Amino acid sequence: MKVIHDSVHGSVRIEGGFTDLLSTPELQRLAMIKQLGLGYLVFPGANHTRLEHSLGTYHIAGLIADAVGLDEHSKKEVMAAAMLHDVGHGPFSHTLEVAFKTRKGMDHMDVTQKLITGEIRVSVEGLNGRSIPEILEEMELKPGSVASLVKKDTPDMCWPGPGKEDIEAAIIHGPIDADQLDYLMRDAHYTGVAHGTIDMERLMQTMMVRENRLVIDRSGVPAAEGILVARALMYSSVYFHRTVRIAEMMLNRGVREMDLVSDEIHMMNDCSLIEKMKTYGGFPRKMAISIIYRNLYKKALSLELPSLEQEDRKRLAEFSERIPELEREIAGRAGIDEKNVLIDIPGKDILISEPRMGETEVIVWENGLYPLSKYSTLPKALKRRNVHRWGILVATPEIHVESVKRAARYVLFG
Protein backbone atom coordinates (compact mmCIF):
# COMPACT_ATOMS: atom_id res chain seq x y z
CA MET A 1 0.00 0.00 0.00
CA LYS A 2 1.19 3.50 -0.87
CA VAL A 3 -0.04 6.91 0.21
CA ILE A 4 0.44 9.71 -2.29
CA HIS A 5 0.06 13.27 -1.06
CA ASP A 6 -1.99 15.06 -3.67
CA SER A 7 -2.16 18.86 -3.84
CA VAL A 8 -5.95 18.82 -4.38
CA HIS A 9 -7.30 15.79 -2.47
CA GLY A 10 -4.70 15.30 0.23
CA SER A 11 -3.70 11.70 0.99
CA VAL A 12 -4.62 9.24 -1.77
CA ARG A 13 -4.28 5.53 -0.92
CA ILE A 14 -3.12 3.12 -3.61
CA GLU A 15 -2.89 -0.58 -2.88
CA GLY A 16 -2.95 -4.02 -4.41
CA GLY A 17 -2.94 -4.24 -8.18
CA PHE A 18 -3.37 -0.49 -8.49
CA THR A 19 0.26 0.01 -7.43
CA ASP A 20 1.26 -2.28 -10.32
CA LEU A 21 -0.91 -0.34 -12.78
CA LEU A 22 0.67 2.89 -11.60
CA SER A 23 4.13 1.49 -12.45
CA THR A 24 3.31 0.65 -16.08
CA PRO A 25 5.01 2.70 -18.84
CA GLU A 26 1.59 3.65 -20.18
CA LEU A 27 0.68 5.46 -16.96
CA GLN A 28 4.14 6.80 -16.15
CA ARG A 29 4.31 8.43 -19.60
CA LEU A 30 1.50 10.71 -18.39
CA ALA A 31 3.88 12.24 -15.83
CA MET A 32 5.49 14.05 -18.78
CA ILE A 33 2.28 15.27 -20.42
CA LYS A 34 0.84 18.54 -19.17
CA GLN A 35 -2.81 18.36 -18.21
CA LEU A 36 -3.58 21.71 -19.86
CA GLY A 37 -1.32 21.30 -22.85
CA LEU A 38 0.03 24.74 -23.74
CA GLY A 39 -2.03 26.48 -21.06
CA TYR A 40 1.15 27.23 -19.10
CA LEU A 41 1.98 29.89 -21.71
CA VAL A 42 -0.86 31.97 -20.24
CA PHE A 43 -1.19 30.47 -16.76
CA PRO A 44 2.40 29.91 -15.53
CA GLY A 45 1.29 27.61 -12.72
CA ALA A 46 -0.43 25.16 -15.08
CA ASN A 47 2.38 22.61 -15.12
CA HIS A 48 0.39 19.78 -13.55
CA THR A 49 0.28 16.50 -15.43
CA ARG A 50 -2.11 13.89 -16.74
CA LEU A 51 -0.71 11.45 -14.18
CA GLU A 52 -1.79 13.71 -11.30
CA HIS A 53 -5.24 13.98 -12.87
CA SER A 54 -5.46 10.19 -13.34
CA LEU A 55 -4.70 9.65 -9.66
CA GLY A 56 -7.28 12.26 -8.67
CA THR A 57 -9.91 10.67 -10.89
CA TYR A 58 -9.12 7.25 -9.38
CA HIS A 59 -9.58 8.73 -5.89
CA ILE A 60 -12.91 10.42 -6.67
CA ALA A 61 -14.23 7.32 -8.47
CA GLY A 62 -13.66 5.39 -5.23
CA LEU A 63 -15.53 8.02 -3.24
CA ILE A 64 -18.51 7.89 -5.61
CA ALA A 65 -18.49 4.09 -5.62
CA ASP A 66 -18.71 4.11 -1.81
CA ALA A 67 -21.37 6.84 -1.83
CA VAL A 68 -23.70 4.89 -4.12
CA GLY A 69 -22.98 1.48 -2.56
CA LEU A 70 -21.18 -0.40 -5.35
CA ASP A 71 -19.97 -3.86 -4.43
CA GLU A 72 -16.22 -4.43 -4.09
CA HIS A 73 -15.72 -5.91 -7.56
CA SER A 74 -17.63 -3.09 -9.26
CA LYS A 75 -15.76 -0.52 -7.19
CA LYS A 76 -12.42 -2.03 -8.19
CA GLU A 77 -13.45 -2.09 -11.84
CA VAL A 78 -14.54 1.53 -11.91
CA MET A 79 -11.42 2.67 -10.04
CA ALA A 80 -9.23 0.81 -12.56
CA ALA A 81 -11.04 2.53 -15.43
CA ALA A 82 -10.61 5.89 -13.67
CA MET A 83 -6.88 5.39 -13.19
CA LEU A 84 -6.42 4.32 -16.83
CA HIS A 85 -8.93 6.60 -18.53
CA ASP A 86 -6.30 8.95 -20.02
CA VAL A 87 -3.44 6.60 -21.00
CA GLY A 88 -4.24 7.19 -24.67
CA HIS A 89 -3.58 10.92 -24.56
CA GLY A 90 -0.97 12.22 -26.98
CA PRO A 91 1.52 14.99 -26.23
CA PHE A 92 0.06 18.21 -24.83
CA SER A 93 -3.22 16.46 -24.01
CA HIS A 94 -6.13 17.65 -26.18
CA THR A 95 -4.04 19.98 -28.36
CA LEU A 96 -3.54 17.51 -31.22
CA GLU A 97 -6.82 15.63 -30.81
CA VAL A 98 -8.58 16.92 -33.93
CA ALA A 99 -5.55 16.35 -36.16
CA PHE A 100 -5.28 12.69 -35.21
CA LYS A 101 -9.01 12.08 -35.26
CA THR A 102 -9.04 13.45 -38.81
CA ARG A 103 -5.91 11.60 -39.92
CA LYS A 104 -6.36 8.23 -38.20
CA GLY A 105 -10.03 8.11 -37.24
CA MET A 106 -9.19 7.59 -33.54
CA ASP A 107 -9.41 9.92 -30.57
CA HIS A 108 -7.54 9.49 -27.28
CA MET A 109 -10.36 7.38 -25.84
CA ASP A 110 -10.10 4.90 -28.72
CA VAL A 111 -6.34 4.62 -28.11
CA THR A 112 -6.97 4.27 -24.37
CA GLN A 113 -9.27 1.31 -24.95
CA LYS A 114 -6.67 -0.39 -27.16
CA LEU A 115 -3.98 0.12 -24.54
CA ILE A 116 -6.19 -1.35 -21.81
CA THR A 117 -7.03 -4.43 -23.88
CA GLY A 118 -3.45 -4.86 -25.08
CA GLU A 119 -4.11 -4.17 -28.77
CA ILE A 120 -1.50 -1.41 -28.42
CA ARG A 121 1.46 -1.82 -26.07
CA VAL A 122 4.06 0.72 -24.98
CA SER A 123 7.43 -0.98 -25.36
CA VAL A 124 10.33 0.58 -23.45
CA GLU A 125 13.87 -0.71 -23.80
CA GLY A 126 15.09 -2.25 -20.54
CA LEU A 127 11.59 -2.59 -19.05
CA ASN A 128 9.96 -6.01 -19.11
CA GLY A 129 7.12 -5.56 -16.67
CA ARG A 130 3.63 -6.93 -16.99
CA SER A 131 1.19 -5.35 -19.37
CA ILE A 132 -2.00 -3.54 -18.37
CA PRO A 133 -4.30 -6.45 -19.36
CA GLU A 134 -2.10 -8.92 -17.46
CA ILE A 135 -2.30 -6.83 -14.30
CA LEU A 136 -6.06 -6.39 -14.65
CA GLU A 137 -6.56 -10.12 -15.03
CA GLU A 138 -4.47 -10.73 -11.89
CA MET A 139 -6.86 -8.29 -10.15
CA GLU A 140 -9.72 -10.55 -11.40
CA LEU A 141 -10.90 -7.81 -13.76
CA LYS A 142 -11.67 -8.24 -17.45
CA PRO A 143 -9.67 -5.80 -19.60
CA GLY A 144 -12.54 -5.53 -22.07
CA SER A 145 -14.98 -4.58 -19.34
CA VAL A 146 -12.64 -1.93 -17.93
CA ALA A 147 -12.02 -0.55 -21.42
CA SER A 148 -15.75 -0.33 -22.10
CA LEU A 149 -16.21 2.06 -19.17
CA VAL A 150 -13.84 4.64 -20.67
CA LYS A 151 -16.00 5.58 -23.64
CA LYS A 152 -19.78 5.60 -23.85
CA ASP A 153 -21.83 7.12 -26.67
CA THR A 154 -24.68 8.03 -24.31
CA PRO A 155 -23.68 9.22 -20.83
CA ASP A 156 -25.77 7.50 -18.16
CA MET A 157 -26.56 10.68 -16.24
CA CYS A 158 -27.99 12.40 -19.32
CA TRP A 159 -31.77 12.43 -19.16
CA PRO A 160 -33.40 9.95 -19.48
CA GLY A 161 -30.28 7.79 -19.35
CA PRO A 162 -29.84 4.07 -20.10
CA GLY A 163 -30.10 1.28 -17.59
CA LYS A 164 -28.40 -0.41 -14.69
CA GLU A 165 -25.47 -1.84 -16.61
CA ASP A 166 -24.10 1.68 -17.27
CA ILE A 167 -23.92 3.01 -13.70
CA GLU A 168 -20.19 2.26 -13.53
CA ALA A 169 -19.64 4.01 -16.87
CA ALA A 170 -21.54 7.05 -15.59
CA ILE A 171 -19.02 7.42 -12.77
CA ILE A 172 -16.31 7.75 -15.44
CA HIS A 173 -18.18 9.54 -18.20
CA GLY A 174 -21.33 11.60 -17.66
CA PRO A 175 -22.53 15.18 -17.08
CA ILE A 176 -21.16 14.85 -13.52
CA ASP A 177 -18.38 12.29 -13.13
CA ALA A 178 -15.08 11.60 -11.41
CA ASP A 179 -13.10 12.82 -14.43
CA GLN A 180 -14.72 16.26 -14.52
CA LEU A 181 -14.80 16.69 -10.77
CA ASP A 182 -11.04 16.25 -10.63
CA TYR A 183 -10.02 18.28 -13.66
CA LEU A 184 -12.23 21.24 -12.76
CA MET A 185 -10.82 21.45 -9.23
CA ARG A 186 -7.26 20.66 -10.29
CA ASP A 187 -7.13 23.05 -13.23
CA ALA A 188 -8.61 25.88 -11.16
CA HIS A 189 -6.06 25.20 -8.42
CA TYR A 190 -3.04 25.32 -10.73
CA THR A 191 -4.19 28.18 -12.97
CA GLY A 192 -5.19 30.31 -10.00
CA VAL A 193 -8.68 31.11 -11.32
CA ALA A 194 -11.67 30.96 -8.99
CA HIS A 195 -14.13 29.14 -11.26
CA GLY A 196 -13.53 25.51 -10.26
CA THR A 197 -15.02 25.62 -6.78
CA ILE A 198 -17.07 22.47 -6.21
CA ASP A 199 -18.95 21.32 -3.12
CA MET A 200 -17.51 17.81 -3.21
CA GLU A 201 -18.73 16.85 0.26
CA ARG A 202 -22.34 17.74 -0.59
CA LEU A 203 -22.14 15.84 -3.86
CA MET A 204 -20.95 12.69 -2.13
CA GLN A 205 -23.83 13.00 0.33
CA THR A 206 -26.46 13.33 -2.39
CA MET A 207 -25.29 10.97 -5.18
CA MET A 208 -27.21 7.70 -5.22
CA VAL A 209 -28.65 4.95 -7.39
CA ARG A 210 -32.42 5.00 -7.89
CA GLU A 211 -34.42 2.96 -10.41
CA ASN A 212 -31.17 1.69 -11.90
CA ARG A 213 -29.91 5.23 -12.56
CA LEU A 214 -27.06 7.25 -11.09
CA VAL A 215 -28.80 10.35 -9.75
CA ILE A 216 -28.53 13.39 -7.48
CA ASP A 217 -30.96 13.80 -4.61
CA ARG A 218 -33.13 16.94 -4.78
CA SER A 219 -31.07 18.47 -1.95
CA GLY A 220 -27.97 18.23 -4.13
CA VAL A 221 -29.31 20.45 -6.93
CA PRO A 222 -27.23 23.53 -5.88
CA ALA A 223 -24.06 21.42 -5.90
CA ALA A 224 -24.92 20.06 -9.36
CA GLU A 225 -25.57 23.59 -10.61
CA GLY A 226 -22.19 24.63 -9.26
CA ILE A 227 -20.43 21.98 -11.32
CA LEU A 228 -22.16 22.98 -14.55
CA VAL A 229 -21.35 26.64 -13.99
CA ALA A 230 -17.73 25.86 -13.08
CA ARG A 231 -17.36 23.81 -16.25
CA ALA A 232 -18.80 26.56 -18.47
CA LEU A 233 -16.62 29.27 -16.90
CA MET A 234 -13.44 27.18 -17.04
CA TYR A 235 -13.98 26.57 -20.75
CA SER A 236 -14.43 30.28 -21.43
CA SER A 237 -11.60 31.60 -19.27
CA VAL A 238 -9.01 28.80 -19.40
CA TYR A 239 -9.56 26.04 -21.95
CA PHE A 240 -10.57 28.41 -24.76
CA HIS A 241 -8.32 31.33 -23.86
CA ARG A 242 -7.44 33.03 -27.15
CA THR A 243 -3.67 33.04 -26.64
CA VAL A 244 -3.72 29.36 -25.72
CA ARG A 245 -5.73 28.60 -28.87
CA ILE A 246 -3.19 30.43 -31.04
CA ALA A 247 -0.33 28.43 -29.50
CA GLU A 248 -2.30 25.21 -30.08
CA MET A 249 -2.85 26.14 -33.73
CA MET A 250 0.89 26.73 -34.14
CA LEU A 251 1.72 23.33 -32.67
CA ASN A 252 -0.88 21.63 -34.86
CA ARG A 253 0.45 23.39 -37.97
CA GLY A 254 3.99 22.33 -37.17
CA VAL A 255 3.00 18.69 -36.63
CA ARG A 256 0.95 18.77 -39.84
CA GLU A 257 4.20 19.26 -41.77
CA MET A 258 5.76 16.14 -40.25
CA ASP A 259 5.43 12.55 -41.40
CA LEU A 260 4.32 11.03 -38.11
CA VAL A 261 2.13 7.97 -37.73
CA SER A 262 -0.54 7.89 -35.03
CA ASP A 263 1.03 5.04 -33.03
CA GLU A 264 4.38 6.84 -32.95
CA ILE A 265 3.09 10.14 -31.65
CA HIS A 266 0.78 8.52 -29.10
CA MET A 267 3.84 7.00 -27.47
CA MET A 268 5.54 10.41 -27.18
CA ASN A 269 5.33 12.95 -24.40
CA ASP A 270 5.50 16.75 -24.50
CA CYS A 271 9.29 16.97 -24.44
CA SER A 272 9.92 14.21 -26.96
CA LEU A 273 7.48 15.77 -29.46
CA ILE A 274 9.13 19.20 -29.16
CA GLU A 275 12.55 17.58 -29.62
CA LYS A 276 11.25 15.67 -32.65
CA MET A 277 10.01 18.94 -34.15
CA LYS A 278 13.36 20.63 -33.49
CA THR A 279 15.39 17.85 -35.13
CA TYR A 280 12.92 17.59 -38.02
CA GLY A 281 13.96 21.07 -39.10
CA GLY A 282 12.14 23.54 -41.34
CA PHE A 283 8.76 24.83 -40.29
CA PRO A 284 8.19 22.27 -37.48
CA ARG A 285 11.46 23.43 -35.89
CA LYS A 286 10.39 27.05 -36.24
CA MET A 287 7.10 26.33 -34.46
CA ALA A 288 8.85 24.38 -31.68
CA ILE A 289 11.30 27.23 -31.03
CA SER A 290 8.46 29.77 -31.14
CA ILE A 291 6.51 27.82 -28.51
CA ILE A 292 9.54 27.25 -26.27
CA TYR A 293 10.31 30.96 -26.18
CA ARG A 294 6.69 32.14 -26.39
CA ASN A 295 7.12 33.97 -29.67
CA LEU A 296 3.52 33.44 -30.67
CA TYR A 297 1.43 34.50 -33.63
CA LYS A 298 -0.88 37.44 -33.05
CA LYS A 299 -4.56 37.96 -33.72
CA ALA A 300 -5.17 39.48 -37.16
CA LEU A 301 -8.95 39.08 -37.21
CA SER A 302 -11.44 37.91 -34.62
CA LEU A 303 -15.17 38.05 -35.22
CA GLU A 304 -17.17 37.84 -32.03
CA LEU A 305 -20.19 35.52 -32.16
CA PRO A 306 -22.74 38.03 -30.78
CA SER A 307 -21.85 40.46 -33.57
CA LEU A 308 -22.41 37.97 -36.39
CA GLU A 309 -25.60 37.96 -38.42
CA GLN A 310 -27.33 34.64 -39.06
CA GLU A 311 -26.08 34.63 -42.65
CA ASP A 312 -22.48 35.04 -41.48
CA ARG A 313 -22.93 32.22 -38.97
CA LYS A 314 -24.10 29.89 -41.76
CA ARG A 315 -21.05 30.90 -43.78
CA LEU A 316 -18.78 30.03 -40.87
CA ALA A 317 -20.28 26.55 -40.73
CA GLU A 318 -19.26 26.09 -44.38
CA PHE A 319 -15.80 27.56 -43.71
CA SER A 320 -15.07 24.97 -41.01
CA GLU A 321 -14.64 22.29 -43.71
CA ARG A 322 -12.32 24.48 -45.82
CA ILE A 323 -9.76 25.82 -43.35
CA PRO A 324 -6.55 24.78 -45.23
CA GLU A 325 -7.98 26.20 -48.47
CA LEU A 326 -8.93 29.48 -46.78
CA GLU A 327 -5.49 29.77 -45.17
CA ARG A 328 -3.92 29.47 -48.63
CA GLU A 329 -6.27 32.06 -50.14
CA ILE A 330 -5.67 34.60 -47.38
CA ALA A 331 -1.91 34.07 -47.48
CA GLY A 332 -1.88 34.41 -51.27
CA ARG A 333 -3.78 37.67 -51.15
CA ALA A 334 -1.50 38.97 -48.37
CA GLY A 335 1.58 37.88 -50.33
CA ILE A 336 3.02 35.64 -47.62
CA ASP A 337 3.69 31.93 -47.08
CA GLU A 338 0.49 30.00 -46.29
CA LYS A 339 2.09 28.63 -43.10
CA ASN A 340 1.96 32.17 -41.72
CA VAL A 341 -1.84 32.16 -41.65
CA LEU A 342 -3.75 30.10 -39.10
CA ILE A 343 -7.54 29.93 -38.81
CA ASP A 344 -9.54 28.75 -35.82
CA ILE A 345 -13.25 28.02 -36.11
CA PRO A 346 -14.16 26.28 -32.84
CA GLY A 347 -16.83 23.62 -32.89
CA LYS A 348 -15.85 20.20 -34.13
CA ASP A 349 -12.91 19.95 -31.73
CA ILE A 350 -15.21 20.48 -28.74
CA LEU A 351 -17.31 17.52 -29.84
CA ILE A 352 -14.20 15.37 -30.16
CA SER A 353 -12.25 16.40 -27.06
CA GLU A 354 -15.14 17.12 -24.68
CA PRO A 355 -18.42 15.56 -25.85
CA ARG A 356 -19.97 16.10 -22.41
CA MET A 357 -19.89 19.87 -22.79
CA GLY A 358 -23.50 19.88 -24.01
CA GLU A 359 -24.73 17.36 -21.46
CA THR A 360 -26.44 19.36 -18.73
CA GLU A 361 -29.51 17.30 -17.83
CA VAL A 362 -28.41 15.58 -14.66
CA ILE A 363 -31.05 13.21 -13.27
CA VAL A 364 -32.57 14.35 -9.98
CA TRP A 365 -34.39 12.12 -7.50
CA GLU A 366 -37.43 13.44 -5.65
CA ASN A 367 -39.78 10.49 -5.20
CA GLY A 368 -39.21 9.84 -8.88
CA LEU A 369 -36.74 10.69 -11.66
CA TYR A 370 -36.71 14.23 -13.07
CA PRO A 371 -34.32 16.26 -15.23
CA LEU A 372 -32.33 19.03 -13.53
CA SER A 373 -34.10 21.56 -15.76
CA LYS A 374 -37.27 21.00 -13.71
CA TYR A 375 -35.53 22.62 -10.74
CA SER A 376 -33.15 25.01 -12.46
CA THR A 377 -33.00 27.27 -15.51
CA LEU A 378 -29.23 26.76 -15.74
CA PRO A 379 -29.16 23.65 -17.97
CA LYS A 380 -31.01 25.32 -20.84
CA ALA A 381 -29.11 28.59 -20.41
CA LEU A 382 -25.74 26.82 -20.46
CA LYS A 383 -26.68 24.86 -23.58
CA ARG A 384 -27.17 28.20 -25.37
CA ARG A 385 -23.96 29.69 -24.01
CA ASN A 386 -20.89 29.54 -26.25
CA VAL A 387 -17.70 28.44 -24.53
CA HIS A 388 -15.70 30.72 -26.83
CA ARG A 389 -16.30 34.34 -27.75
CA TRP A 390 -15.28 34.22 -31.38
CA GLY A 391 -16.81 32.62 -34.42
CA ILE A 392 -13.55 32.77 -36.33
CA LEU A 393 -10.02 33.72 -35.35
CA VAL A 394 -7.21 34.42 -37.82
CA ALA A 395 -3.63 34.58 -36.51
CA THR A 396 -0.29 35.44 -38.10
CA PRO A 397 3.21 36.63 -37.12
CA GLU A 398 3.08 40.18 -35.77
CA ILE A 399 4.80 41.65 -38.83
CA HIS A 400 1.95 40.48 -41.09
CA VAL A 401 -1.03 41.43 -38.91
CA GLU A 402 -2.31 44.36 -40.97
CA SER A 403 -1.94 42.73 -44.39
CA VAL A 404 -3.52 39.47 -43.19
CA LYS A 405 -6.38 41.37 -41.56
CA ARG A 406 -7.27 43.05 -44.86
CA ALA A 407 -6.87 39.84 -46.85
CA ALA A 408 -8.94 37.81 -44.38
CA ARG A 409 -11.84 40.26 -44.48
CA TYR A 410 -11.86 40.15 -48.26
CA VAL A 411 -11.57 36.36 -48.61
CA LEU A 412 -14.05 35.52 -45.88
CA PHE A 413 -16.70 38.18 -46.40
CA GLY A 414 -15.95 39.88 -49.73
pLDDT digits (tens, 9 = 90+) for 355-398: 455 566 788 999 999 999 899 988 888 877 766 677 889 999 99
**Distance between CA atoms of 176 and 228, rounded to whole angstroms?**
8
Q: What is the pLDDT of residue 247?
A: 96
Q: Which of 71-75, 157-161, 323-327, 402-406 has the lowest mean pLDDT?
A: 157-161
C-alpha distances out from residue 336 to 149, 177, 399, Å: 48, 47, 11
Selected residue with higher pLDDT from 352 and 185: 185
- Which pLDDT belongs to residue 160? 52
Contact 110, 151 (CB under 8 A): yes
pLDDT at 360: 66
Per residue in 272-297, pLDDT (tens digit) is 999 999 999 999 999 999 999 999 99
More confident residue, 90 or 45: 45
Q: Can you tell me the distance from the alpha carbon of 301 to that of 236, in angstroms, rounded to the nearest whole number?
A: 19
pTM: 0.91
pLDDT at 175: 77
Residue 267: band (very low, low, confident or very high) from pLDDT cuts 50, 70, 90: confident
pLDDT surpasses 80 at 231: yes
Dist CA 161 CA 365 (whole Å): 13
Mean pLDDT of all residues in 244-252: 94
Environment class of 72 (CB within 10 Å of its CB; exposed 0-12, middle 13-18, buried 19+): exposed
pLDDT band, very low/low/confident/very high, at 262 (cuts 50, 70, 90)? low
One-letter amino acid of 254: G
Q: What share of the chain is helix, strand, coil (3-state, %, to 5)?
A: 60, 10, 30
**Which pLDDT band, with edges at 50, 70 and 90, does 351 fall under?**
very low
Higher pLDDT residue, 256 or 187? 187
- In the chain, the largest separation of any two C-alpha atoms, in whole Å, equals 67
In this predicted structure, what is the pLDDT of residue 155?
45
- Flag the least confident range among 47-61, 165-179, 207-221: 165-179
Q: What is the C-alpha to C-alpha distance for residues 360 and 180, in angstroms, rounded to an integer?
A: 13
Report the pLDDT value the prediction gives residue 102, as an integer from 0 to 100. Answer: 67
Which one, of 224, 193, 190, 191, lies nearest residue 207 by Cα?
A: 224
- Comparing 9 with 353, the larger pLDDT belongs to 9
> What are the boundaries of each domain within the chain?
2-241
Using 50, 70 and 90 to split pLDDT, how confident is the model at 185?
Answer: very high
What pLDDT does residue 12 have?
Answer: 96
Question: What is the topology classification, in CATH, of domain 2-241?
Answer: Hypothetical protein af1432 (1.10.3210)
Question: Residue 167's pLDDT is what?
Answer: 85
Mean pLDDT, rounded, for 115-128? 78
Report whether 145 contacts 80 (CB < 8 A).
no
| pLDDT 10s digits, 210-223 | 988 889 999 999 99
pLDDT at 308 over 80: no
pLDDT at position 389 is 72
* 1-15, 143-157, 250-264: least confidently modelled range: 143-157
SS3 322: coil
Q: What is the pLDDT of residues 67-104, one digit of tens each?
A: 999 999 999 999 999 999 999 988 998 888 877 776 66
According to the model, what pLDDT value does residue 321 have? 79
pLDDT band at 23 (very low <50, low <70, confident <90, very high): very high
